[in-house]
Amino acid sequence: MATVTFDKASRIYPGTDKPAVDALDLAIEDGEFLVLVGPSGCGKSTSLRMLAGLEEVDGGAIRIGDRDVTHMPPKDRDIAMVFQNYALYPHMTVADNMGFALKIAGTPKDEIRRRVGDAAKLLDLSEYLDRKPKALSGGQRQRVAMGRAIVREPQVFLMDEPLSNLDAKLRVSTRTQIASLQRRLGITTVYVTHDQVEAMTMGDRVAVLNAGLLQQVDSPLGLYDKPSNVFVAGFIGSPAMNIATFDVKDGRATLGAADIAIPASISSKVAEEGSDTVTLGFRPEALIPASAEEPGGIPVLVDVVEELGSDAYVYGRPAGPAADEQADRLRSDQIIARVEPRNAPQKGEKINFTVRPGSEHFFSVKTGERLEP
C-alpha cells in the first residue's frame, strides 16, 4: 500500500532542449487507479517509465510512500509492470506458475504458499492450484497470469497500454475486468493510454498530459464538466466538444448570426486581458434544435447522422449567411450535435441549433485557460 508522488519530476532526452516531461507534479493516493492520458508524444509513457526506473530523472524527485526512488534500480522499487501477457508453463502446476518468480527472489516456501493461496482465493482459482494450465479455461489461464503479478504484492502496479493489441470489442470487456480486479486488490495503479474513452471509464482520476506538461488531473466527470483549458476541453469527450472563437460585445458573444448571452463576469475578464474575443466551447449535448425563426441560432447543414440507438449524433457544417467565417473560427471541420434518436434529421437537411444557456465553456483566447463566470 503506498502513495506515489511526482515532485517536479523532469526528463530531458540527450540532444533535445524541450523536456519530454516537464516538472510533473502529481500526487497519487494510496489504492488509487490513476490514468495518464494524452496524444502521442505527450510524455505519458515517459512519466510511467520514470516511475518504473526505466527512464532517468533529470530534475525533481519521485517517491513511493515516503521512499525517494528517484535514482533507485527498478527491482528495488517494489513495483510490478503488468504486461499484457505472460508465459504459462505447461508442465508446472497452477500454483508453481503463480509462485515461481518468488522462488527466484528467495522468498521462503511458507510465504510463497501463503501468497499464492491468497491470490488464488481472490482470483477464484483455489481449487485449481494443483492442476496444470492445460486443464483450465482461457479466462482461468488469464487469471493465473495475473496471479503472477499479484503474488509479488507490489506497492504499485504499472500498466502501459495493455489493451493496445486487442480489437475494439475485446478492449471494452477487458478494461472492465482490469478495473474491477484493481478495485478488489486495492493496489495503487498507474495506467497509461492514448485513448480518452479508456481513461474515462477506468480511472478514479485521470491526468491529462500534452507536450510534456500536466494539463489537469481530476475525476472523469470533473474533466468533462470543468476542463481547465482548451486542450483538455478538446481532448476529453467523445464526440468532441465544439470550440470556436466568438466576438464579445455588450454582454453577448457573437459569431455571424450566432448570438449567445454571456455572464457579465466573463465580459469583464475578457476586457481585463485587453481582448474582444473569447474561445467558447459547447458539447454536442448542449445544442438544441430550434425553429429557423429563433434569433441567435447556428444554422447547420447535416453531412452525416450517426445513429447509436440510445443517441444520435449530427455531424454538419455551418450553413448560414456567415458560414465561411464561422467555419474559419471553428477549431474542427465540423459541428457535432446530439439529437433525439427517434427524431433525427436527414443528411442534407438544414437545422438551426441554439446553445443551452449555462452549458457554455469559456476560455481565454490569450492563454487558453478556463474562464469561470
Which window, 133-141, 244-252, 330-338, 352-360, contacts other proteins (CB under 8 A)? 133-141
Total residues contacting other proteins by CB under 8 A comes to 46
Query: Does residue 56 belong to the site contacting other proteins (CB under 8 A)?
Result: yes
Applying CB under 8 A, among 19, 38, 43, 133 the residue interacting with other proteins is 133
Query: Does residue 111 belong to the site contacting other proteins (CB under 8 A)?
Result: no
Query: Does residue 90 belong to the site contacting other proteins (CB under 8 A)?
Result: yes
**Smallest distance from other proteins to CB 89, Å:** 4
Q: Cell 530534475 sits at which residue?
A: 59
CA atoms of 370 and 373, how far apart (whole Å): 10
- Which of residues 194 and 226 has its CB atom nearest to other proteins in the complex? 194
Site string for other proteins, 177-206 (x = CB under 8 A): x-----------------------------
Largest Cα separation within the chain, whole Å, is 80
Which window, 21-29, 159-167, 266-274, 353-361, contacts other proteins (CB under 8 A)? 159-167
DSSP one-letter string for 208-248: EEETTEEEEEE-HHHHHH--SBHHHHHHSSSSPPEEEEEEE
CA atoms of 50 and 62, how far apart (whole Å): 8
Q: What are phi and psi of 47, to 5 degrees?
A: -60, -45
CA atoms of 92 and 62, how far apart (whole Å): 38
Query: Does residue 168 belong to the site contacting other proteins (CB under 8 A)?
Result: no
Applying CB under 8 A, among 83, 219, 249, 369 the residue interacting with other proteins is 83
Radius of gyration of the chain from its Cα atoms, rounded to whole angstroms: 25
Look at strands 258-261 and 252-255 and give their pairing: antiparallel
Query: Does residue 14 belong to the site contacting other proteins (CB under 8 A)?
Result: yes
Buried b (16+ CB within 10 A) or exposed e, 100-127: bbbeeeebeeeebeebbbebbebbebee
CA atoms of 11 and 208, how far apart (whole Å): 17
- Which of residues 4 and 52 has its CB atom nearest to other proteins in the complex? 52
**Smallest distance from other proteins to CB 179, Å:** 12
Query: Does residue 150 belong to the site contacting other proteins (CB under 8 A)?
Result: no
**Smallest distance from other proteins to CB 85, Å:** 5
